[in-house]
Structure 1
């Protein structure tokens, strides 16, 4: 009878560690036949509009008021610090998206660089980030819509549903638009929405310039430098749209060229709007 080998087999923890640190090579992350089912219709302009549309919203309309309370006129410096820090993140995203032009964004980049376990943790954080961000935008939009309708029509809007119901209906509407496809859904509807939001921001800037009172700018730091630094993290919420651009990598006509252009342009446009709207 043959004797069993006295060499111990791989332990459970060793195998688990090997799986956790398993990396995905850049070559296998390149575009392959399995991804060609997606329609490649997006250009650099479309990607820029996606990034702007993901940032111009609650990031500018809501965060500005929240950040201004503890900082005062120095809120502009909070946005400046947030914009500078976001520039470095955007450059990293642009480099990685050009190297690995596959949908998956930071999850895929972490999978290639650090391994599967780190990618899983980052992916879970990204899911929470996207869900929270979408909930904040939908809730704020529904609240503004409800208040606007009640101010315009008064008692006629007694039939108007609650803010939660309006939010749910808006989510269903956006889901239906995305289900139509890239050409007829995402490109056209997103373009109209972005130009509408940009027009509102420009209107606020133009009207706000006529209401400026220099006396309100003194003192610049009424509560010190500490709140300015802490609120810069909150203000960075106004510049996170460039991360959404990378998720459209497999629907981009020329991802190696258009993804870095869309990421950098969307960040610069949002930074300019945020600074001017303050």
Structure 2
């Protein structure tokens, strides 16, 4: 380059020599590759982030109360919780779904249908008060006080003429082999006419000479549903898991109230255990 002020002529030199230019191109190429890789990684991360919440929702559907910890609220219900004790027994309390299809003063009315999935420890909302959910569920509750049980397709139900403590101590294979198959709705066992109730006999399904056909007795004098203490229901779901189930009550806080007959149903309370 010419320096016009000094009159000195300097030789013209390229900005980069051939080798330096080659190195620069190489470095530029590496930087471009790094940038491209970063963009691809970022795109993959963004794609992963978009999909992650959906995957997490699917894996987090099951309610998981801590053993011996606080109850967890059921989903899509008016009331109801599930808790787990240190022995592996889950208890669902005051499970109620308001569906506006009945007058609770009618002692024979069902409050629509409730659907429950034992693998998720949770209620499954129906498409309507009388239409099953479009997703998986195990059993439904309907009938008087929502005490009658039906099963979903692919699910099997049996019962054991044993109390829950005895039945839930069995292995899955032992319980299932000893169980009796249920082919129809499993609920009403017999009607009791005595007044007042003579516990504990009226809380048994296996009365002398009686063949078990359900797990609850109906006390006609005050139209009360009495969950029995000597029958355990077995539910085998579509995953092949077997649960021992004992229905304890269909009344709010396990106590029938109302005059002249109870009207605080259908608040289901039951316990179950994966065998």
TM range (shorter): under 0.3
TM-score of the aligned structures, taking structure 2 as reference length? 0.26
Q: Which has the higher strand share?
A: 2
Larger RCO of the pair (alpha carbons < 8 Å, separation 6+): 1
Q: Which has the higher helix share?
A: 1
Of structures 1 and 2, the larger Rg is shown by 2
